[in-house]
């Protein structure tokens, strides 16, 4: 355990705070804050533990539940002090993403021993809390934003796995993974870093898309006659 | 077991009916009714059992599957008799919420022994079926409505846990929890009870939010020069 | 195992491709493609394994992760060649649905021995990958389309279960299930096959619905006086 457990508390608390901030954007009441804080803070890690087949972390250590509730209450009484809550959501989410992708990779590696599973586990569980938060609250998904997001989680998880394989001490491997993920996501937020996105046309509306394909086929058929 | 098992059937059947009513609002076919009924009726309990690490209830007792299918078929042929299906969704959801928050707390307590975990488990699993229903069907989430919702689930679960700790007989503890949750949610539906919601401004659109923060910083920078 | 394992790879690869195509419609970057491919390709099967209480398939065989990543990369570089990506989504989804409903039924039957659980498992896990893909990407849900969808999954799963109970050889039972599901979904896509949908009025907006019910009651009260 050692230093890794700190990542866990850090990731949960920060994700919980983003959930509570989103609750404030939706003007929910205090229990809505707590629910979204728990969903965001504990959702990704719950899935991680279920998939790994280990006991769910907050069932074993109910302190995590109180961490989420605390973050929700704190946010409820202080969110009005923030200039731009959405910016805070993005930055706290970045710090939490970095903590959780490394912790997911750490736990994935410890349980399965497979570097591929560990990297995927880090990426997925870091992203899923935020994805669930945005879906449940009806916010635009961070996942669909243009700046680098998933790549930062993947790079952080992979950096940790590589640093561990290279024989670094646990604390150093953790710091390497965290720095890689947070650095990359910070650059994306500050400088608008993007990967080359899929450059072709965006999708048409579903029905328009089917209609267009139908017309093209009809035109081709007419030409052939 | 005893009386608690009745809560389970009641919660599943009523949640299934709300899923089917939402399917009728979306004008799905009968299989869509069954799918939404199963998702709503069994979704929250499935998560509860996975998180508790016990066998999923409907895999052990496939009768629950038939209960959901039955509720879906019944709704398919009778929903047109209802004056306001959305009102029925809200009221059946209230009765199901009360059953499921108590049953979730009961099962959580039986498996983990932790009152905190039991209360959270009751609240989460009671809410998640409805949340999934609304997301999948594209309905406005009950969670985001103004009247008290999550608090009723939390109070019901906590009341059961407290009544059990106080040494009440199982049936009495169950009735206490059910009455607390259903009473509070009923009051919310009839009298529009709300908790003080987060009173500051609602969130701006994500992009507008970032833009506004950028402008404020620019203005502050100009003032400083 | 034998022939059934092929279904698993087929379903995962095809669902992954639909996830990547949806990512291209949303103009995500390559890591977004990979994430949506994994979510769609492995999401339904992950839930299936969790519910059945068996080890999650891709944790045991990380090759599935690479299959999804490969499908995502392939799609990233070839999606612009397609005339109508949305049509491809529907057809690949049909082929994947057929594979996954049979495989889900096969695995459900092998683990639980219950034909009811097996049929439901086939239907649910075949549908859930696509449902998650559409929700996360903000696409209109295939589930809410008018043409037959869930029924095809249910019929495919049930056909496999019946064929197996009738003593057919594994390969034949699999082919029977696949043909039933894919044939029915193909007919739905080509000829617009539908089940009789719920024929009454669609749902009003949530608030309008409550308002209308309130007015009707008020009118009835006035008449009574």
Tens of pLDDT, residues C59-85:
999 999 999 999 999 999 988 877 777
Q: State pTM to two decimals.
A: 0.88
* pLDDT grade for A139, boundaries at 50, 70 and 90: confident
- A143–C86 C-beta distance less than 8 A: no
- C38–A120 C-beta distance less than 8 A: yes
Instruction: Give mean pLDDT, residues A185-214.
Output: 77
Is the per-residue pLDDT at A1 higher than 70? no
CA distance A158 to chain C (A): 14
- Mutation site for C-interface testing, chosen from A119, A123, A140, A203 by largest number of C Cβ within 10 Å: A203
Q: Which residue has the higher pLDDT, C197 or C92?
A: C92
* pLDDT grade for A82, boundaries at 50, 70 and 90: confident
Is the per-residue pLDDT at C224 higher than 80? no
pLDDT score for A57? 94
- B148–A76 C-beta distance less than 8 A: no
Asked whether the beta carbons of B76 and B30 are under 8 A apart, the reply is: yes
Look at residues B96, B84, B85, B83 and name the one whose alpha carbon lies nearest to residue B21: B85
φ/ψ (deg, to 5) at C112: -105, -25
pLDDT score for C27? 86
Q: Closest-CA residue in chain B for C121?
A: B59
Least confident of A95-109, C40-54, C133-147: C133-147
Q: In this complex, which of B62, B86, B87 lies closest to C114 when CB atoms are compared? A: B62
Q: In this complex, which of A22, A50, A137 lies closest to B50 when CB atoms are compared? A: A50
Q: In this complex, which of C35, C46, C56 lies closest to A150 when CB atoms are compared? A: C35
CA distance A197 to chain C (A): 4
Asked whether the beta carbons of C129 and C171 are under 8 A apart, the reply is: no
Percent above pLDDT 70 for chain C: 92
- B34–C200 C-beta distance less than 8 A: no
Is the per-residue pLDDT at C1 higher than 60? no
Asked whether the beta carbons of C4 and C170 are under 8 A apart, the reply is: yes
Is the per-residue pLDDT at A17 higher than 90? yes
pLDDT score for B123? 92
pLDDT score for A132? 92
* Chain A residues touching C50 at Cβ < 8 A: 50-51
- Mutation site for A-interface testing, chosen from C23, C35, C46 by largest number of A Cβ within 10 Å: C35
pLDDT score for B80? 80
- B26–C216 C-beta distance less than 8 A: no
CA distance B196 to chain A (A): 6
Q: How far apart are CA B49 and CA B108, in angstroms?
A: 9
Q: Which residue has the higher pLDDT, A213 or B15?
A: B15
Please report, for residues B130, B199, C168, C199, the alpha-carbon distance to residue B89 in angstroms, rounded to integers and kept in the order given.
10, 28, 45, 19
* Chain C residues touching A210 at Cβ < 8 A: 84, 86-87, 90
- In degrees, to the nearest 5, what angle opens at C-alpha C130 toward C-alphas C126 and C133? 145
pLDDT score for A119? 94
* pLDDT grade for A47, boundaries at 50, 70 and 90: very high
- B86–C204 C-beta distance less than 8 A: yes
- Coil, helix or strand for A29? strand
A-B CB pairs within 8 A amount to 100
- In degrees, to the nearest 5, what angle opens at C-alpha C137 toward C-alphas C23 and A30? 150
ipTM: 0.85
pLDDT score for B219? 77
* pLDDT grade for A4, boundaries at 50, 70 and 90: confident
Look at residues B82, B120, B101 and name the one whose alpha carbon lies nearest to residue B183: B101
Q: What is the pLDDT of residues C117-145, one digit of tens each?
A: 999 999 988 999 889 999 998 888 877 77
Q: Closest-CA residue in chain A for B120?
A: A65
Is the per-residue pLDDT at C171 higher than 90? yes
Q: Closest-CA residue in chain A for C21?
A: A203
Question: Ranked by mean pLDDT, which of A145-159, B126-140, C168-182 comes out on top?
Answer: C168-182
* Chain A residues touching C80 at Cβ < 8 A: 200
Q: In this complex, which of C50, C150, C213 lies closest to B35 when CB atoms are compared? A: C150
Q: Closest-CA residue in chain C for A153?
A: C31
Q: How far apart are CA A201 and CA C130, in angstroms?
A: 22
Contacts of C42 (CB under 8 A, 6+ apart): C12, C16, C57, C58, C64, C65, C68, C129
- Mutation site for B-interface testing, chosen from C149, C202, C203, C207 by largest number of B Cβ within 10 Å: C203
Angle between helices A85-112 and A150-165 (to 10 degrees): 40
- B29–C194 C-beta distance less than 8 A: yes
Q: Closest-CA residue in chain A for B197?
A: A29
From the first residue on, what is the mean pLDDT of each consecutive set of 10 residues in chain B (225 residues)?
82 94 89 93 95 94 94 91 81 94 95 94 90 88 83 95 94 96 95 79 68 72 72
Q: Closest-CA residue in chain B for A46?
A: B51
Contacts of C190 (CB under 8 A, 6+ apart): none
- B56–C116 C-beta distance less than 8 A: no
Instruction: Give mean pLDDT, residues A77-100.
Output: 88
Q: How far apart are CA B221 and CA C9, in angstroms?
A: 57
pLDDT score for A99? 95
* pLDDT grade for C202, boundaries at 50, 70 and 90: low
Q: How far apart are CA C4 and CA A68, in angstroms?
A: 43
Percent above pLDDT 90 for chain C: 62
* Chain C residues touching A202 at Cβ < 8 A: 25-27
CA distance C224 to chain A (A): 40
- In degrees, to the nearest 5, what angle opens at C-alpha A144 toward C-alphas A190 and C50? 120
Q: In this complex, which of C59, C83, C136 lies closest to A52 when CB atoms are compared? A: C59
For chain A, give the mean pLDDT: 89
- B124–A31 C-beta distance less than 8 A: no
Which chains would you list as touching A if contact means 3+ CB atom pairs under 8 Å? B, C
């Amino acid at each position: 355990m050692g230093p890794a457990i700190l990542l866990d508390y850090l990731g949960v608390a920060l994700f919980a705070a983003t959930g509570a901030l989103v609750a404030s954007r939706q003007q929910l009441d205090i229990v809505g804050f707590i629910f979204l804080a728990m969903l965001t803070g504990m959702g990704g890690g719950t899935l991680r533990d279920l998939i790994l087949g280990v006991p769910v972390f907050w069932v074993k250590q109910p302190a995590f539940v109180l961490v989420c509730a605390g973050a929700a209450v704190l946010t409820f009484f202080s969110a009005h002090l923030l200039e731009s809550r959405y910016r805070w959501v993005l930055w706290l989410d970045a710090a939490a993403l970095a903590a959780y992708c490394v912790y997911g990779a750490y736990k994935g590696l410890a349980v399965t021993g497979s570097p591929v599973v560990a990297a995927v586990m880090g990426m997925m569980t870091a992203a899923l809390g935020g994805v669930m938060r945005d879906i449940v609250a009806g916010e635009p998904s961070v996942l669909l934003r243009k700046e680098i997001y998933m790549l930062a989680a993947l790079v952080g998880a992979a950096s940790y796995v590589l640093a561990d394989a290279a024989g670094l001490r646990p604390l150093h491997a953790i710091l390497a993974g965290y720095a890689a993920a947070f650095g990359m996501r910070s650059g994306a937020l500050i400088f608008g870093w993007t990967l080359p996105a899929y450059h072709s046309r965006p999708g048409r509306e579903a029905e328009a898309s089917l209609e267009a394909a139908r017309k093209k086929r009809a035109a081709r058929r007419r030409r052939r006659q």
